[in-house]
Structure 1
């Protein structure tokens, strides 16, 4: 097991839609169940947070960056243990299309296999987002 806590992996996909289109869809937490399967099958607004009861990790609380014009979709996920995981996400212009970039941070104690599995899950989520956006 490798205990590197600062390692990051940038996962991205090009989406044949404008930055504004992708940001508008992806920044709406109600749309998460359609594309971010890593956060569960449903989310519910509770005060200033969103709660996913049926995530693969158990009940998680998701707090998003305020709506902005910069394409920042950062969010914190508070795990059942109380640990909070910061997830940097950006939607950036790529010609007339856009690119969504998720920075996966390796948590201390995460094995190489688990980090690879997490990266595969994020890549699958981004692929679902791409498919949804391009079929709209």
Structure 2
């Protein structure tokens, strides 16, 4: 039998008779933390497959500034507690799921005048050209 501190034990402790050795320090990688990467992913605006198809088929081009304005509009809607928002910018209507920050669809031109939008709880109008 093993003896630990003067006591005979019928087993060997996990760390052996000398005790558990401290584990070596793991160095943290340099660069962005997990929280920063996660926040960047959550803050970004996403486009559903349906929205991407609509943008392409209707030849709707979005510049980086347009995407920033759309993202800011989603932020505004989110601050008011919106879930699904209609965002109108440059004669194009976007339906956006605010919680997921996802553009669900886009409508422009004549279709914009002939549409009824349902299941939205807010509207944001962007007048910047």
Output the TM-score relative to the length of structure 2. Answer: 0.25
In our comparison, the structure showing a higher alpha carbon Rg is 2
User: Which one has the bigger strand percentage?
Assistant: 1
